[in-house]
Each structure stands twice: as C-alpha cells, then as structure tokens.
Structure 1
Amino acid sequence: MNKPGFQPSLKGRALRLLSQREHSRAELERKLAPHEEVPGELAKALDELQARDFINDGRAVDSLVNRRSAKLGSTRIKQELAAKGLSGEAVTEAMAGLKETEWHRATEVWRKKFGHPPQDPQDRAKQMRFLLTRGFNADVVRRVVQGSDLDE
C-alpha cells in the first residue's frame, strides 16, 4: 500500500492509531516516540490533535471502561487505566461507577464461567481465584462464590 521509502508523518501515524480505538496522550507518546526524527515534533503533532479534540483522555477512559467492565473488576480496570497514563477526575468518576456495579458484574462473569456453586473446597478456591485475577473485590468474590446473594 505504501510506496517504497514513504514514511507516514507522526500526525498520520497518530490518526491511524486513533482510528482503531481511543488512545490517551501518554499512550500515543509512548508508541510514536521511536518514530520522532526532530525533537519536539511529536509534542507539536499531539498538541495539534489534542486542540482539535482527536485526543481526549476522558473519552479514552470511557472507552476502556465500556470495553472491559463486562469482564473485569474495578481493580484490574484501574490498573489498565494507569498503564495507559490516565488519571484524574475522569478515572475517579469511572471507578466510583464501577464499584457500584461490582457485585452484579462479578456475578455475571461467574455465571458465564461456572454457573453452579462449588462442589468442594478446591472448586471454591478455583472459582474465587478466577474472579480475583479479573480484579474483583475480595468481599464481592466471597459473596458471589458462596452464593449468598445470587437472587439480589
């Protein structure tokens, strides 16, 4: 597709990445830094894209939360947001919303994977480990696996 010797500009590369999904500014800086030939060129390109609202960290937070919340707990989602260089008010609001739905989301993940109460202590440990590794709160995991609130 590209002509031999043709290298897309930093802005072009950023737009290509943004067309696939929302990216935070920090994430774009990390991905595009190896392609920067002139110091300051990357910052200038990202400033321009941010001024035109192509880069919006709030949208990046919402996008990640919407994509991942059906399968992951709030702890794991918070780690992923931090890894993408996202923090601040939008993350705090998203975390508050996720904590309110944590039990329901954990129950759905548990039902899809197991759908039945544990038969023995090893099965119980396996089910709890599964939910814990997906970032659900330990108290919520305990309640879901014990089945005490399955009809809430």
Structure 2
Amino acid sequence: MFGARKPRKEKPRVSAYDKALALLARREQSRRELSMKLARAGYERDEVEQALDRLADDRYQDDERFAGVMARSRAGQGYGPARIRAELKSHGLSDARIRAELDALEVDWHAEAAAQLRRRYREPAGDDLAERARRAQFLLRRGFAAATVRAVTHADVDEAACDD
C-alpha cells in the first residue's frame, strides 16, 4: 500500500569560510566571536582557523574595524566607557586597541551621563538621598565612572537648589 520512504538527501555542509561570511553579512563580528560560533556549529579547529585567516586576508573580518563599530554603537546607545571597555574585552581585543577606540570616540562622558539621567528621569532628584543613590546606580550600571556619576548626580542637586 504505502511504499517505503525514500531517505532524505543530506545537504552538502557549508564550509566554515562560507558560514562565517554569512554571519559577517549580518553584522561586524570579532574573530573570537566567529571562532566560538563556528566551533559550536561543529567545525574543526583547523578549518575554523584557516577560514578566519582567509577572512582577515580578504578584509571581511577585522577586529580593529569591529572595535570601532562596537565602541561607536555602544556610546551612541548611551553606555559609559567602563561598559564599552568590558564588552570589547569580552571579544578578545587587546587593552591597547580598546584604549585607542575609547580615545577616538571623543565623547564628553559627563555630558553623556547627564543626558542619560535626563532621558531616564524627567525631574531632578532634589535632596532625596535614596533617589540620588538609585540614579547613581543606574549610571554605574551603564558603565560611567564613579567620579562622573558623583559629579552628575550632585550637579542634579545643585540644579534643583538653584530652581528654588
């Protein structure tokens, strides 16, 4: 009545190079990130290394370019230098590269922290210590330096005093 099922044809496996290229077509990625994704997909270490070397030679993958894109993106999203540094470090970038990218941003971190506070909290905190602490924690989680947070949250109090 019913015949036996035909076995499915297996798709030929995509090379590590082609898989990585497809990942890079979506967005910039670090060498470490691509390496981990390809390893999870079951590619052998040698094939992964060869693919990544070829991608670098062809200038499709460049950690320097990735660092710049990532740093600008995160700064534009309102994150502070500590958070950006930690994220770049997690991608296996050198401290020198990270420092260079942060310097290249030319961001006024005080102004950016103040802008984040204004965006998140419409009204000044005033003299409420608990509210000021909550706002300071918000900025610290976003990666702003403690000195910047202190200056910005205290400026908030000074601003409120001037309004009275």
Name the amino acid aligned to 2:63. Answer: D
**Cα RMSD for the two superposed structures:** 2.2
TM-score with structure 1 setting the length? 0.86
More deviation in 12-21 or 35-44?
35-44
Matching residue of 2:39:
33
Q: Is the 8 A contact 2:17 2:51 kept in 1?
A: yes
Q: Deviations over 1:79-105 (max 9, x none)?
A: 000111112533111223457521121
| Aligned 1:15-30 pairs, distance under 5 A | 15-30=21-36
Identity %: 32
> Unaligned stretches of 5+ in structure 2?
1-7, 160-164
**Of 91-100 and 61-70, the range deviating more from structure 2:** 91-100
1:69 match: secondary structure:
helix
SS at match of 2:29: coil
In structure 1, runs of 5+ residues without a counterpart are none
Which whole-Å CA distance do the structure 1 matches of 2:72 and 2:24 have between them? 17
| Counterparts of 1:141 and 1:4, CA distance in 2 | 60
Q: Write the distance in 1 (CA, Å) between the matches of 2:155 and 2:95.
A: 36
Q: Is the 8 A contact 1:74 1:99 kept in 2?
A: no
Aligned to 2:10: 5
For the residues of structure 2 that align with 1:30 and 1:39, how far apart are their CA atoms? Answer: 10
8 Å CA contact retained: 1:73, 1:102? yes
1:76 positional shift: 0.6
User: Which secondary structure does the structure 2 equivalent of 1:81 belong to?
Assistant: helix
Distance change in 2, residues 1:38/1:73 (3 Å): closer
The structure that has the greater radius of gyration is 2
Cα distance in 1, alignment partners of residues 60 and 31 from structure 2: 10
Distance 1:9 1:129 in 2: 46
Amino acid in structure 2 at the alignment position of 1:136: F
Superposition deviation, residue 8 in structure 1? 2.3
CA deviation string 1:48-86 (max 9, x = no partner): 111000110111001111111131110010000011111
CA contact (8 A) 2:82 2:143 kept: yes
Give the secondary structure class of the aligned counterpart of 1:147: helix
Amino acid corresponding to residue 34 of structure 2 in structure 1: L
Q: CA deviation at 1:115?
A: 3.1
Matched, 1:139 2:147: yes
